[in-house]
Amino acid sequence: MMGISLDSSHYISTRGGIAPVDFADAVMMGLATDGGLLVPGSFPQVDASTLDGWRRLTYPELAFEVMRPFVGDSLPAETLRRLVQDSYATFDTPDVVPIRPLDNKSLFIAELYHGPTLAFKDVALQFLGNLFAELLRQRGGRLNILGATSGDTGSAAIHGVRGKAGIEIFILYPEGRVSPLQERQMATVPDANVHCIAIEGTFDDGQRVMKQVFNDLPFKEKNHLGAVNSVNWARILAQVVYYFWGAFRVQELSGSATPIQVCVPTGNFGDIFAGYVARRMGAPIARLLLATNENDILSRFFNTGTYAKGTVHPTLSPSMDIQVASNFERYLYYRLGEDAARTKAMMMEFEQNGSITLEDADPTFAAGRGDTASTLATIRKHYEQYGVLLDPHGAVGVTVAEANPLPGLKTLCLETAHPGKFPAAVEQALGDGTPARHESLEKLKKLPLRKALLQPTVPVIEEYIIQTLAGKA
């Protein structure tokens, strides 16, 4: 399409230590080899006539158009189109991400839970699983995926690559700190290429070990490690699509061409960073509203300018129980004017001191916090008044959205998981017998768990990977 520059298909590190790589190499590299995160050389700019054309596209058609300038020559157009079509054929609705009014006035909901694991991660990881398989088909070899999850990433990643030839997947998750159904969506998968590792610690411990293993470059290269966490650029790219889609649908439903606000419950900053990319490209988004639970490192940053680690607090929204947001470095890079040296220095300062401070506010973002009491109250209110059942993560977002309206603008709230994944939270809000169920989840309750329980240290995790792969030889 016209109005787009294609020089966004080469990738550099936020820390400036690698030569530019193309999209395929960026996907297979995952985490940059200098310890930074990969970002495109520029953001394509979408003009008004292109936006008007995009409004009329189906979700898979829109995904192809949004992704194409970032992919460049790494894949033929027909291959990318096929991967997108195959990825979203697994969803239970042709809309992929339905958009509907929440209160018939100013709030709308994006239902991001219509994929195989009933969570927003499916939107990216169905695509990434197919993309990995295609790149391995082209290049040959094997890929051993290592990921860390606070709940939904692990199951979505597993279901994206389960049974695929040439791929093994190792997923770290905190023992006792994901919901029972989230664990069952991972640890009951019978495919022999799936390896679940429950760690004795928090999600931050798992994420830290994962990054340390990736930074062990001899180990990474010898064992062909790849990443599925939102450190992988393809994850972010696939999520950019639903910001355009959601903004178009809200404008259509409200009969207004005015830009919208998007409220995003987030812990790792990946989902909302995708919204930042969409806005930079030209999506009709006036402001991004960040919502956290009690683990509020991100909302504190956008309200005070200080990014400081705290203690992880278990909550009703466990996928957001994070104190170190892995995608924050990408945002920091742009906030610092794409200065890789400053970005690296500030990240080193954060790693040493647990805190950094930036001057001046960014009007692109607002932020708020929804604690346990307000989350429960929001679930109760919207079920009783509107017949809408929210999951606890979506309820955090709606809580913050209702407290932070933009006068005259509609707000789209991202509902990131099906409420059936969190029946205990829903029952706490509404009482026993509430309809927080899903048939696919009920079937998991009788299946045996397959997992290893390990300490979150680099030697332990690396040895487990080595021994598991040796058994595959």
Structure confidence at residue 391 as a pLDDT band (50, 70, 90) = very high
Which DSSP state fits 360? S
Asked whether residue 4 carries a pLDDT value surpassing 60, the answer given is no
Residues 19-29, mean pLDDT to the nearest whole number: 94
Asked whether residue 153 carries a pLDDT value surpassing 60, the answer given is yes
Which DSSP state fits 448? P
Asked whether residue 9 carries a pLDDT value surpassing 70, the answer given is yes
> How far is it, in rounded angstroms, from Cα 78 to Cα 431?
51
Q: Which of 80, 84, 75, 79 is nearest to 23 (CA)?
A: 75
> How far is it, in rounded angstroms, from Cα 367 to Cα 369?
7
Comparing 63-77, 98-112, 279-293, the range with the smallest average pLDDT is: 98-112
Query: Average per-residue pLDDT in the chain?
Result: 93
Single-letter amino acid code for the residue at 164:
K
> How far is it, in rounded angstroms, from Cα 438 to Cα 391?
13
Residues 300-327 pLDDT 10s: 999 999 999 989 888 999 889 888 898 9
In Å, the largest CA–CA distance within the chain is 62
Structure confidence at residue 298 as a pLDDT band (50, 70, 90) = very high
Residues 408-425 pLDDT 10s: 999 999 999 999 888 889
Strands 452-454 and 285-292: unpaired
Helix segments in 174-282, DSSP class H: 180-187, 203-215, 217-222, 233-254, 270-281
pLDDT for the residue numbered 105:
77
Q: Is 316 in contact with 323 (CB distance < 8 Å)?
A: no
User: What residues contact residue 200 under an 8 Å CB cut-off, 6+ apart?
Assistant: 175, 453, 454, 455, 456
Which DSSP state fits 42? S
Asked whether residue 5 carries a pLDDT value surpassing 90, the answer given is no
pLDDT for the residue numbered 229:
78
Structure confidence at residue 135 as a pLDDT band (50, 70, 90) = very high
Q: Which of 75, 186, 166 is nearest to 127 (CA)?
A: 75
Single-letter amino acid code for the residue at 207:
Q
Torsions phi, psi for 236 (to 5 deg): -60, -45
What distance lies between CA 129 and its chain's CA centroid?
14
pLDDT for the residue numbered 203:
87
Give exposure, 99-123, as e/b (b: 16+ Cβ within 10 Å).
bebbeeebbbbbbbbbbbbbbbbbb
pLDDT for the residue numbered 473:
67
Asked whether residue 377 carries a pLDDT value surpassing 70, the answer given is yes
Comparing 170-184, 343-357, 397-411, the range with the smallest average pLDDT is: 170-184
Residues 199-245 pLDDT 10s: 999 988 998 999 999 999 999 999 999 888 788 999 999 999 999 99
Comparing 130-139, 232-241, 340-349, 430-439, the range with the smallest average pLDDT is: 430-439
Could you give the residue numbers annotated as active site? Answer: 121
Q: Can you read off the two tokens belonging to residue 429?
A: 């809000």
Q: Which of 175, 198, 149, 201 is nearest to 312 (CA)?
A: 201
Asked whether residue 129 carries a pLDDT value surpassing 80, the answer given is yes
Q: Which of 1, 19, 20 is nearest to 11 (CA)?
A: 20
Torsions phi, psi for 345 (to 5 deg): -65, -40
Q: Which of 14, 18, 120, 131 is nearest to 70 (CA)?
A: 131
pLDDT for the residue numbered 291:
97
> How far is it, in rounded angstroms, from Cα 236 to Cα 161?
18
pLDDT for the residue numbered 300:
96
Structure confidence at residue 434 as a pLDDT band (50, 70, 90) = low
Question: What strand order describes the sheet that includes 38-40?
Answer: 21-22, 10-13, 38-40
Asked whether residue 1 carries a pLDDT value surpassing 60, the answer given is no
Torsions phi, psi for 178 (to 5 deg): -115, 160
Q: What is the CATH number of domain 99-118+234-436?
A: 3.40.50.1100
